[in-house]
Amino acid sequence: EPEVTQTPSHQVTQMGQEVILRCVPISNHLYFYWYRQILGQKVEFLVSFYNNEISEKSEIFDDQFSVERPDGSNFTLKIRSTKLEDSAMYFCASSHSNRVRYGYTFGSGTRLTVV
């Protein structure tokens, strides 16, 4: 079964550093998403992306965050200057259409630790 692949599985970075989280969505999917889960809390929507632009973003997704699909296969989340509170599990997801009835697949996550 097709998978959404996220790398790395765990990243440790120093506060103030830039970090890029990478995702390879399912190949024929057109919609891409990032979600965040702070340890012990619920999974929260960050941003959705379609046709090379952001469709929707949450309040969490401030100017420190950006997303990009640089080469037609990868989908990246960049945090410009990490803060301690950015430590979380970040999940990428993709869907073939903008309707969840057609499937919605999560990657296995990247655990980001900011020290």
Partner 1 sequence: AQKVTQAQTEISVVEKEDVTLDCVYETRDTTYYLFWYKQPPSGELVFLIRRNSFDEQNEISGRYSWNFQKSTSSFNFTITASQVVDSAVYFCALSEPEIQGAQKLVFGQGTRLTINP
Which residues would be at the binding site for partner 1 (CB under 8 A)? 31, 33, 35, 41-45, 48-50, 55-56, 89, 91, 95, 98-101, 104-109, 111
Closest to partner 1 by CB, 73 or 108? 108
Least distance to partner 1, CB of residue 62, Å: 17
Least distance to partner 1, CB of residue 85, Å: 19
Least distance to partner 1, CB of residue 45, Å: 4
Closest to partner 1 by CB, 35 or 65? 35
State the number of CA atoms in the 13 A half-sphere of 49 facing the CB. 25
Asked if 36 contacts 90 with a C-beta cutoff of 8 angstroms, the reply is yes
Residue 97's nearest CA partner among 33, 29, 23 is: 29
Closest to partner 1 by CB, 9 or 81? 9
Asked if 5 contacts 74 with a C-beta cutoff of 8 angstroms, the reply is no
Q: Are strands 19-24 and 5-7 parallel, antiparallel or unpaired?
A: antiparallel
